[in-house]
Structure 1
Amino acid sequence: MTDEYPEFLLNLPHGGPVARGRLLGEKGTNGSQKMVVLAGSPARPEVVPSFPVRMPSSHRLREQLREEGTIKETTTWPGWLEVVSDVECNSPSAAAEILLGRSANGWLEWKTADGRPLADFLEQASAGPSRAWLVRDPEIDGLGPAADQMWRSRDRVTLGADRLRPGVAPGVSKERLRAIVDEDYESAVAYSQRARLVEEFHAFLSRMRPGDTVCLFSGGELYVGEITGNAEQVVSEDGRSILRRPVEWAREGYPYDKLPEELQQRLHSGHDLVDLTAVKSLLDGLWSSEAELRKVAEEASGASGMAIQAVIAHRELEFPQPEEELRKKLNVHELEWLSEVCDLLWDERQLIFYGPPGTGKTYLAQELAEFLGGGPEQVKLVQFHPSYAYEDFFEGFRPREDPDTHEVAFRLTPGPLRELADVAGREGNRHVPYFLIIDEINRANLAKVFGELYFLLEYRKKAVRLTYSDEDFALPRNLFIIGTMNTADRSIALVDAAMRRRFAFVELSPRVEPTSGLLERWLEGEKKDTEPADLLDALNARIDDVDFRVGPSYLMKPGVYREGGLERTWRTKILPLLEEHHYGEGVDIEKRYGLEALRASLVVRKAAADEDEEGRGTQ
């Protein structure tokens, strides 16, 4: 029976010695094929700290073998242990784990002398990377924490299949399964539900395989295990048809409130089976310290090592601290103000800069986002307008030409938010901040643009079902949103209370810093006469409505400081703003806000100041 399989080898970490094993045809108690670790194989002297929790049965077996002297110190390989007699294990993973002292996917880590993984020799396994799954088990659904030990002692996971006919075998094709489900469930559930059942049954029977990670959510805790054998269809104690797979469960559950946010988002799906492969690396990192992860990452190779590095990087998501160089570039009055803005954005994830036109809202948003994200590649800018809609912003059906047939058809097309969220949520990107800048955010109908995403802005740890693609979607924790709002634009619908609750608001206005002294600081840095700053202050002092005061950016352009540039800018940029503000009021704009009037007022003010100073000097 054993001659049909070659001898398999296992490389111990850091260039250590090589262990030898033999796959058996018979199955262990967990439903997986047994494997023998051959005498003379080396073993690691220590275990990683999370090993007793993650793989309790393999840890118990290793400890038993140590006590019996089957695994003991050796002179063959100084610094390593040795297996002195053959050890029969319930699965290839258990055989690898007692040697490595950590959790391991034996189907991939045991290899032939020419490098082929053991998975290539099994019907229900393949050499591709292992996957992760969340299953709602009907045998434990509704049980509280007191029943946890009871269900975990079963060493299995089940999926309800009440009406599925007997004899549906593992490996069944999706087309065959669709025909069976349509017939068996025709009078019981709607067509859309039958399509979902086909996906779930097919994944459980044909896509899952030994070595995959499986999760259950019960009693406020997430329980994680490893699938150890093939699927089978059985009848439960109450007479229902169920699908079942053997599993080795971790000894302890992981509290929901301590889970990474990406995992919390996926636990609220209403489906009985959910593919969690996109966040498998986060599952693998539960219970492990950063030091342990780094140690395992050094030992792992290929995709496994990259996944562990991704977990380490995910834990390192943070904003860089603003520096003096950035403060000077932005002409901000204090570094503390910049730090406070960054803290607000980190805590709230969404922030709006608001104020009159010309106060540098968009410029500040872009520069700050590029600094925090590490470059322009992590920043996307969109501008809202009255006709902007959900289909433009997130996703919708749009006419697209097929490049092969040149026929035009409506296809589901992602918008800027969906595109950026997909990039930010990739495994290798989760430690990098990404920023969506929404310019003129109050110019659109926000409820129409955001749709069901309104909910996610406040509840980042949840997911919602999308309108068009019918998928579960959540905003990645490393996606931040910065909006700008022009307070002078009152012809557009105001931001409602619900949106205000979802954003932090930072004022950029000529009446407060950093905007009030921005032009003067810029002029001094450019070694220019500060008269434009004095004129702007005098202008804004004459504007009663603070939302219509003029920002300094109008006077921070090179053209202003060419011959006649200040007069041109004042006549063509600033006075038209005020004409619109006073439309129909009969105000003489030039007489009240023109350069000649403002300069005259500055002369009077300076004379008064000089007189006052002279008076104080004679006292």
Structure 2
Amino acid sequence: MNSSDALRKRLIADGKIIDSSTWTNHLETTEDITCNSPSAAAEILLGRAANGWLEWKTADGYPLGDYIKSPSHGPARTWLVRGSNVSGFDLVQRLWLPEGRVSVAAGRLRDGLEQGTTKDELRTIVDEDYESTLTYSQRLRLVEEVHAFLSKMKPGDTVCTISNGLLYVGEITGEAEQIASDGARSNLRRPAEWQSVGYPYDKLPEELQQKLSIQHDLVDLTSVGALVTGLGRSDQELSEEAEESEGDSSAELAALVARRELELPEPTKELADELLVHDVEWLREVRDLLWDDRQLIFYGPPGTGKTYLALKLAEYFGGGPEQVKLVQFHPSYAYEDFFEGFRPQEDPKTREVAFRITDGPLRELADLASREGNRHVPHFLVIDEINRANLAKVFGELYFLLEYRNKSVRLTYSGNDFALPSNLFLIGTMNTADRSIALVDAAMRRRFSFVELSPGTEPTSGLLRRWLDREGRNTEPADLLEAVNARITDPDFQVGPSYLMKKGVYRDGGLERTWRTKILPLLEEHHYGEGVNVEQRYGLRALRASLAPLPQAEEPTPP
């Protein structure tokens, strides 16, 4: 991008690109400008990084890449081709494995299709040949699959298929051919050399299962190709083969890198001391719950440190704040805010506003977590006040993925296939004093582990006393907090220690001010309409009087 940006600035300075007199807020060229690639030309035109094969489009919206024949060289890819149920027949067992083949059923396509046919040419052919038998969306899908089989797939690529609960892996060994076949079930074919064994589907790596669950007949698996390469081979075998290969870009080395285990660090005594948690074992239990379910909610009354603890643990387990994203739910929060949806965006050059699909915080973090090189690093989304939104509306089809992490779903807006990365963890916080807790339905409760943070139980019950001890302060605030909570019968409305863990509380008059403006109003709301004198029952004077030692009775004077 740097060279294209420099060239763009020089062309503007030389007067070869000027403000357009015809189109307001646009630029135009004063002479022909030759670029060395479509991407370079797009970057100069747009003033940003760009893929010219996708950015240059026809009036109908089709990209330039659809009109260019795909090269027959380039890095090897990995493909999934389904053949276990083609018109009721298992072609994997009947044809592919015995005869060394892989095929695509496209019996209505006219004869004479050539390898390397462009997508634009293929689109015209499919529209004409299948106009009366397939819907528009089905024709689009067929174009993608046939184009990939004819023009993207090449000898040396890895091919996978599933049959009888096993994943079979092979290698494409020749060019595509179009032949007549029984029932038009396999008229587009390529020779393939299949391995002699299959791998049990339920034993495959979770990330590979996610891709295999995409419901298309032909799927590009290149992003998980390293996991396929490592199937059936030990780390030692991969290491030895990587050493024998030239360079550091071998498939075996990539398989070793992809195999790196995802780990959550073990909690330490130092972490427990920093967070003022009473016992390291409590932190270990939280870690184990996250590891087992990947979704966890801290719940309890206000002021119990739920958000603080969620952020601190996320940063510790994720290795730093850059792996953590915070979002706060509220009643008007929706799926479009949380995951993806059409949002108005202004073009920085034209100042025109248009609706475009925009990623929300969950989609952004999921994309970051799934990047190559990041997959063994834990990433955390902290959802504050998770019960204040309509969760069924916010999560949409993602409800399914929270429970089935090895599956993919088709997204509502973009139409892409999506799976939650295995290294993405969710921590929510829930205020039990908020009546909107009723919005948390049984489906959501089943998908999260719930950890209580209550003034009546550790680690919250002794938190203020431990903090005061560390700060070298008098323990009266801890005594007062325990006294006020002893008078509150509903545990969901007890007062958390966070109100009294701020510097302002310990300035002159700070405790009285905090009690009057933070704690008593909270209890006023709790007893609204009950006729309770909150000041008389929970005020500092009443509490201190209850804590004062009783005067000793005087001994009677002997006669």
| 2:77 aligned partner | 131
| 1:411 aligned partner | 356
Following superposition, the deviation at residue 572 of structure 1 comes to: 1.0
CA contact (8 A) 1:138 1:160 kept: no
CA contact (8 A) 2:295 2:427 kept: yes
Counterparts in 2 of 1:297 and 1:538: CA distance versus 1, 3 Å: farther
The SS at the match of 2:325 is: strand
One-letter amino acid matched to 1:424: A
Question: 5 Å matches for 1:203-602?
Answer: 203-239=148-184, 242-300=187-245, 304-305=249-250, 308-309=253-254, 311-312=256-257, 314-491=259-436, 493-602=438-547
Aligned length: 485
Between the aligned partners of 1:587 and 1:308, the Cα distance in structure 2 is 71
Between the aligned partners of 1:575 and 1:124, the Cα distance in structure 2 is 72
Between the aligned partners of 1:140 and 1:424, the Cα distance in structure 2 is 36
The SS at the match of 1:437 is: strand
CA contact (8 A) 2:102 2:189 kept: yes
One-letter amino acid matched to 2:381: L
CA contact (8 A) 2:80 2:159 kept: yes
Between the aligned partners of 2:217 and 2:251, the Cα distance in structure 1 is 30
Greater mean alpha carbon deviation, residues 373-382 or residues 306-315: 306-315
In structure 2, runs of 5+ residues without a counterpart are 1-68, 554-559
Counterparts in 2 of 1:371 and 1:241: CA distance versus 1, 3 Å: closer
Following superposition, the deviation at residue 150 of structure 1 comes to: 6.1
The SS at the match of 1:235 is: coil
Between the aligned partners of 1:357 and 1:554, the Cα distance in structure 2 is 9
Greater mean alpha carbon deviation, residues 131-140 or residues 161-170: 131-140
Between the aligned partners of 1:198 and 1:499, the Cα distance in structure 2 is 39
Residues 481-531 of structure 1 show CA distances to partners (whole Å, capped at 9, x for unaligned) of 100000001156431111100000000000100000111111111111111
Question: 5 Å matches for 1:46-125?
Answer: none
CA contact (8 A) 2:377 2:423 kept: yes
Following superposition, the deviation at residue 588 of structure 1 comes to: 1.1
Between the aligned partners of 1:457 and 1:553, the Cα distance in structure 2 is 31
Between the aligned partners of 2:385 and 2:267, the Cα distance in structure 1 is 26
In structure 1, runs of 5+ residues without a counterpart are 1-122, 612-619
Following superposition, the deviation at residue 428 of structure 1 comes to: 1.1
Between the aligned partners of 2:336 and 2:202, the Cα distance in structure 1 is 34
CA contact (8 A) 2:123 2:143 kept: yes
CA contact (8 A) 1:445 1:493 kept: no
| 1:615 aligned partner | none
CA contact (8 A) 1:310 1:428 kept: no
Between the aligned partners of 2:271 and 2:250, the Cα distance in structure 1 is 36
Residues 375-397 of structure 1 show CA distances to partners (whole Å, capped at 9, x for unaligned) of 01111110000000000001001
One-letter amino acid matched to 2:105: G
Between the aligned partners of 1:466 and 1:127, the Cα distance in structure 2 is 33
Counterparts in 2 of 1:310 and 1:213: CA distance versus 1, 3 Å: closer
Following superposition, the deviation at residue 406 of structure 1 comes to: 2.5
Counterparts in 2 of 1:185 and 1:419: CA distance versus 1, 3 Å: same
Between the aligned partners of 1:299 and 1:529, the Cα distance in structure 2 is 68
Counterparts in 2 of 1:233 and 1:194: CA distance versus 1, 3 Å: same
Between the aligned partners of 1:405 and 1:288, the Cα distance in structure 2 is 55
Counterparts in 2 of 1:546 and 1:240: CA distance versus 1, 3 Å: closer
Between the aligned partners of 1:490 and 1:410, the Cα distance in structure 2 is 36
Following superposition, the deviation at residue 311 of structure 1 comes to: 4.3
Between the aligned partners of 1:221 and 1:138, the Cα distance in structure 2 is 11
Following superposition, the deviation at residue 294 of structure 1 comes to: 3.1
Following superposition, the deviation at residue 221 of structure 1 comes to: 0.7
Following superposition, the deviation at residue 242 of structure 1 comes to: 1.8
Following superposition, the deviation at residue 304 of structure 1 comes to: 2.8
CA contact (8 A) 2:77 2:221 kept: yes
Between the aligned partners of 2:425 and 2:373, the Cα distance in structure 1 is 17
One-letter amino acid matched to 1:133: W
Please report the RMSD computed on the Cα atoms of aligned residues, expressed in angstroms. 2.2
Between the aligned partners of 1:499 and 1:506, the Cα distance in structure 2 is 15
Q: Equivalent pairs: percent with the same residue?
A: 71
The SS at the match of 2:532 is: coil
Between the aligned partners of 1:546 and 1:581, the Cα distance in structure 2 is 12
Following superposition, the deviation at residue 473 of structure 1 comes to: 1.0
One-letter amino acid matched to 2:77: R
| Alignment of 1:171 onto 2:112 | no
Between the aligned partners of 1:437 and 1:139, the Cα distance in structure 2 is 43
Between the aligned partners of 1:514 and 1:218, the Cα distance in structure 2 is 51
The SS at the match of 2:382 is: strand
One-letter amino acid matched to 1:494: L
Residues 555-604 of structure 1 show CA distances to partners (whole Å, capped at 9, x for unaligned) of 11111111111111111111111011111111111111111111111114
CA contact (8 A) 2:106 2:185 kept: yes
CA contact (8 A) 2:329 2:385 kept: yes
In the superposition, the TM-score normalised over structure 1's length comes to 0.75
CA contact (8 A) 1:156 1:247 kept: yes
